[in-house]
């Protein structure tokens, strides 16, 4: 086969090209081309309807001086970090417990995973009912348990709105991370634990000196997926608070779509500027790219 | 004996925590179901009661007809099923080509597939919106289906091609000797052997499309009759000016959630392994 000319290989491969055609068409039109489009758009001022106006780096300068962008970024980072630490430790704990030969572990596993399959938009609506300020169940439970004296407007109070959303997000996603950790735990060979036991290590020391180091490779992937996924949070914020009150729970993607789809159901309170939306999108992309890069490096150092 | 008492105590605490989290997982869904069967005044009087005074199934009829959830349900089914079939078809063809054939450009295709994994789809939604508009695909279910299909390509192709590689190449050669061409081998020999991975991809795509909110929202903004369930539900909620009709809203939410929850209950094993594989390998 070697030494075959390029043309001959090309001719011989016509079948493969036909097989790839639908994917390539979809891919170039809706995945590759939009990347160049969004870069170009970020140098323009455009309301989406009238003539586009080239403005150079103006959108980027505006982004750096936009207090709401920084606020949205700060909120997103709070969201990312809370999910990272609270959700992943919860998930690891669940995985360790449900990996043991506990009675009923199958039942608990399937119940804990159930929220993962639900739509975040639909769940967001249901939770906004549970968290409702006057007669919401959440308020009633907390006051009845004596944890709180008066009712709170969880989603309407700038102090709590973001954390209420984070709580719902953890409810929704902890199950999938539990399953990831379970996959990691099951890949640790049993004989290592036998050896540790022979050496006199109790359950706690087995966990610290055996389980955690062995989980490292999969944990790095889980952390990366969690960070990247969390940076893109949109549904819950849009459905539960719309970024409010007064941008108290605004996140990057929701802020982007306010400019990108202003005047529609998505965008409220701002003037349409799709060039600016594109710039915010590039900001999001750069953050994710840098984080991914460092993650991959970090993973390699450990090896 | 002290040690034993301690261990029993620990076990009780552990089970207590597990039961507590199970209740937290299930409560919102139970609350939704019970509210969906109450009257407005009953909700105002007592939101806590999980068993309604009388089961008002009429709420579902009202949500289905007056709340337009019948239309939304139909749209969700059409979009999800068509996307699912298109993804299975297009992704398995490309996966077959990149896993089995060595052709010029193969590496380029693989590279661009992987590269787009790092581009958040959210960041390119505005351009995608305009491209769809120029192609006349906006405000139509067809447009939504095409873009959803495009979005599911990468992970699907990756999973399917990895599976194809585990099928011995001898089979292809044998099929060729028997007179099968490339397409016949793909369709009659390899695809039937790949049922497990096709099931995984089907579940992932089904879940992603059925639950999607952002994309259908952007694609149906000026056509309320094209909304899918999540988009319709959110619009239904914003439609209440003063007091939200929680029974109807919860009936709508239940109509949106139940199909996938029921599917999960019956196909649990496939859901868990499929979603884990999709995220970890993709």
Say if residue A36 is in the same domain as residue A69.
no
Residue A69 lies in a domain: yes
pTM of the model: 0.90
Q: Do B146 and A30 touch (CB under 8 A)?
A: yes
Q: Do A27 and B237 touch (CB under 8 A)?
A: no
- Structure tokens that stand for B194 in this block: 């790949």
Query: What value, to the nearest 5°, has the Cα angle with vertex A185 and ends A181 and A187?
Result: 120
Q: Note whether B83 and B210 are within 8 A (CB).
A: no
Residue A54 lies in a domain: no
> What is the model's pLDDT at position B181?
86
| Distance, CA of A109 to chain centre | 22
Domain ranges of chain B: 2-58, 67-239
* Nearest CA-CA partner of A171 in A120, A109, A135, A136: A120
* Nearest CA-CA partner of A82 in A249, A269, A285: A249
Question: How far apart are the CA of B151 and the nearest CA of chain A, in angstroms?
Answer: 8
DSSP A31: I
Q: Note whether A232 and A253 are within 8 A (CB).
A: yes
Angle between helix axes B268-281 and A212-231 (nearest 10 degrees) is: 80
B8 touches chain A (CB under 8 A): no
Question: How far apart are the CA of A158 and the nearest CA of chain B, in angstroms?
Answer: 21
Q: Is A292 exposed, middle or buried (0-12, 13-18, 19+ CB in 10 A)?
A: middle
Instruction: Count CA within 13 A, CB hemisphere, residue A42.
Output: 21
Asked if residue A300 has pLDDT above 80, the reply is no
Q: Do B122 and A234 touch (CB under 8 A)?
A: yes
CB contact set of B184 (below 8 Å; sequence gap of 6+) = B175
Q: Note whether B256 and A123 are within 8 A (CB).
A: no
Burial pattern A161-189, b for ≥16 Cβ within 10 A else e, equals bbebbbbbbbbbbbbbbbbbbbbbbeeee
Q: Note whether A267 and A191 are within 8 A (CB).
A: no
Per cent of chain A over pLDDT 70 is: 94
User: What's the CA gap between A31 and A35, in Å, rounded?
Assistant: 7
Say if residue A97 is in the same domain as residue A17.
no
B117 touches chain A (CB under 8 A): no
Residue A189 lies in a domain: yes
Q: Do B181 and A38 touch (CB under 8 A)?
A: no
Question: How far apart are the CA of A25 and the nearest CA of chain B, in angstroms?
Answer: 9
> What is the model's pLDDT at position A70?
93
pLDDT band, residue A168 (cuts 50/70/90) = very high
Q: Do B28 and A112 touch (CB under 8 A)?
A: no
Spell out the CATH class of B67-239: mainly alpha
| Residue A245, preceding peptide bond in cis (omega within 30° of 0) | yes
pLDDT, mean over chain A: 86
Residue A36 lies in a domain: yes
Q: Note whether B251 and B62 are within 8 A (CB).
A: yes
Q: Where do runs of H (alpha helix) occur along chain A?
A: 6-12, 14-27, 33-41, 58-64, 67-82, 88-99, 105-113, 120-130, 137-144, 161-186, 190-198, 203-206, 212-231, 235-240, 252-260, 274-302
CA distances, A105 to each of A97, A115, B10 (Å): 8, 17, 16
Contacts of B158 in chain A (CB under 8 A): none
Residue A236 lies in a domain: yes
Please report the residues numbered 85 through 144 in chain A whose beta carbons come closer than 8 angstroms to any beta carbon of chain B: 94, 97, 102, 104, 108-123, 125-130, 135-137, 140-141
Say if residue A153 is in the same domain as residue A279.
yes
Q: Note whether B92 and B198 are within 8 A (CB).
A: yes
Task: State phi, psi for A284 to the nearest 5 degrees.
Answer: -60, -45
Burial pattern B159-170, b for ≥16 Cβ within 10 A else e, equals bbbebbeeeeee
> What is the model's pLDDT at position B211?
93
Please report the ipTM that was assigned to this predicted complex.
Answer: 0.89
A80 touches chain B (CB under 8 A): no
- Smallest Cβ–Cβ distance between B237 and the set A37, A97, A125 belongs to A125
Say if residue A216 is in the same domain as residue A97.
yes
Contacts of B118 in chain A (CB under 8 A): 288-289, 292
Coil/strand/helix, residue A251: coil
Task: State phi, psi for A54 to the nearest 5 degrees.
Answer: -70, 130
Asked if residue A57 has pLDDT above 90, the reply is no
Per cent of chain A over pLDDT 90 is: 33
Q: What's the total number of domains in chain A?
A: 2
Question: How far apart are the CA of A159 and the nearest CA of chain B, in angstroms?
Answer: 23
Q: Do B272 and A179 touch (CB under 8 A)?
A: yes
What torsion do the CA atoms of B202, B206, B207, B212 make, to the nearest 10 degrees? 140
> What is the model's pLDDT at position B253?
93
DSSP A211: I
Contacts of A230 in chain B (CB under 8 A): none
Q: How far apart are the first and last CA of chain A?
A: 38
Contacts of A266 in chain B (CB under 8 A): 217-218, 221
Q: What is the pLDDT along chain B (282 residues), one digit of tens a residue?
A: 557 777 788 888 889 999 999 999 999 999 999 888 888 878 777 777 778 777 888 889 888 988 889 999 999 999 999 999 999 999 999 999 998 888 888 888 888 888 777 788 888 888 898 898 889 888 889 999 999 999 888 889 988 988 898 888 888 888 888 888 888 888 988 889 999 899 989 998 999 999 999 999 888 888 888 899 999 999 888 887 777 888 889 999 999 999 999 999 998 888 888 877 776 665
What is the average pLDDT across A162-172?
Answer: 95
Burial pattern A55-91, b for ≥16 Cβ within 10 A else e, equals beebbeebbeebeebebbbebbeebbebbeeebbebb
> What is the model's pLDDT at position A95?
92
B33 touches chain A (CB under 8 A): no
Q: State which residues form the domain around A72.
A: 60-302
What is the average pLDDT across A36-63?
Answer: 85
B181 touches chain A (CB under 8 A): yes
Q: Note whether B238 and B252 are within 8 A (CB).
A: no
DSSP A267: B
> What is the model's pLDDT at position A260?
82
User: What's the CA gap between A51 and A46, in Å, rounded?
Assistant: 7
> What is the model's pLDDT at position B63?
85
Q: Note whether B215 and B148 are within 8 A (CB).
A: yes
Q: Which residue has the tokens 């009912």?
A: A129
Q: Note whether A48 and A272 are within 8 A (CB).
A: yes
Say if residue A69 is in the same domain as residue A37.
no
A60 touches chain B (CB under 8 A): no
User: What's the CA gap between B60 and B99, in Å, rounded?
Assistant: 48
What digits encode the pLDDT tens for the residues A241-264? Answer: 888 788 889 999 998 888 888 766
What is the average pLDDT across A82-105?
Answer: 91
> What is the model's pLDDT at position B30?
92
Coil/strand/helix, residue A62: helix
CATH assignment at residue A297? 1.10.3720.10
Coil/strand/helix, residue A42: coil
Say if residue A144 is in the same domain as residue A206.
yes
> What is the model's pLDDT at position B92?
94
More confident residue, A301 or A234: A234
């Amino acid at each position: 086969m070697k030494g075959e000319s390029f043309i001959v290989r090309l001719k011989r491969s016509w079948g493969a090209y036909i097989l790839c055609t639908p994917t390539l068409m979809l891919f170039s039109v809706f995945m590759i081309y939009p990347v160049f489009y969004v870069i170009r758009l970020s140098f323009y001022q455009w309301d989406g309807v009238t003539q586009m106006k080239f403005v150079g780096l103006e959108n980027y300068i505006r982004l750096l001086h936009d207090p709401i962008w920084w606020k949205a970024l700060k909120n997103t980072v709070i969201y990312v970090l809370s999910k990272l630490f609270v959700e992943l430790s919860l998930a690891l704990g669940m995985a360790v417990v449900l990996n043991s030969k506990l009675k009923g572990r199958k039942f608990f596993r399937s119940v804990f995973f159930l929220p993962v399959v639900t739509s975040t938009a639909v769940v967001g609506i249901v939770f906004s009912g549970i968290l409702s300020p006057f007669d919401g169940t959440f308020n009633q439970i907390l006051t009845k348990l004596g944890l709180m004296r008066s009712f709170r407007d969880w989603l309407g109070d700038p102090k709590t709105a973001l954390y209420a959303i984070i709580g719902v997000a953890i409810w929704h996603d902890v199950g999938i991370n539990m399953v990831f950790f379970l996959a990691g735990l099951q890949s640790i060979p049993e004989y290592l634990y036998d050896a540790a036991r022979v050496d006199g290590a109790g359950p706690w020391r087995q966990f610290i000196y055996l389980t955690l180091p062995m989980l490292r490779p999969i944990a790095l992937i889980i952390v990366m997926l969690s960070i990247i996924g969390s940076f893109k949070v949109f549904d819950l914020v849009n459905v539960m608070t719309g970024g409010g009150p007064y941008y108290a729970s605004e996140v990057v993607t929701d802020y982007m779509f306010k400019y990108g789809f202003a005047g529609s159901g998505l965008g409220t309170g701002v003037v349409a500027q799709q060039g600016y939306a594109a710039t915010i999108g590039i900001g999001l992309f750069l953050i994710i790219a840098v984080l991914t890069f460092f993650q991959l490096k970090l993973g390699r150092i450990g090896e | 004996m002290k040690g034993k008492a301690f261990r029993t105590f620990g076990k009780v605490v552990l089970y207590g925590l597990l039961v507590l989290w199970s209740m937290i997982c299930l409560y919102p869904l139970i609350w939704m179901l019970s509210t969906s069967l109450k009257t407005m005044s009953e909700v105002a009087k007592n939101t806590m009661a999980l068993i309604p005074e009388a089961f008002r199934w009429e709420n579902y009829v009202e949500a289905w007809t007056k709340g337009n959830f019948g239309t939304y349900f139909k749209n969700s089914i059409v979009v999800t099923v068509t996307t699912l079939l298109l993804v299975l078809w297009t992704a398995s063809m490309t996966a077959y080509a990149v896993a089995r054939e060595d052709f010029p450009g193969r590496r380029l295709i693989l590279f661009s597939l992987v590269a787009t994994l790092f581009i958040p789809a959210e960041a390119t939604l505005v351009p995608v919106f305009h491209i769809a508009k120029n192609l006349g695909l906006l405000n139509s279910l067809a447009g939504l289906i095409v873009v959803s299909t495009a979005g599911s390509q990468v992970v699907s192709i990756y999973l399917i091609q990895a599976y194809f590689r585990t099928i011995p190449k001898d089979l292809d050669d044998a099929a060729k000797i028997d007179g099968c061409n490339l397409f016949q081998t793909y369709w009659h020999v390899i695809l039937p052997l790949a049922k497990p991975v096709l099931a995984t991809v089907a579940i992932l795509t089904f879940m992603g499309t059925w639950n999607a909110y952002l994309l259908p929202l952007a694609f149906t903004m000026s056509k309320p009759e094209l909304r899918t369930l999540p988009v319709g539900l959110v619009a239904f909620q914003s439609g209440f000016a003063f007091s939200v009709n929680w029974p109807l809203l919860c009936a709508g939410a239940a109509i949106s959630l139940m199909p996938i929850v029921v599917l999960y209950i019956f196909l649990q094993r496939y859901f868990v392994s499929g979603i884990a594989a999709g995220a970890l390998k993709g």
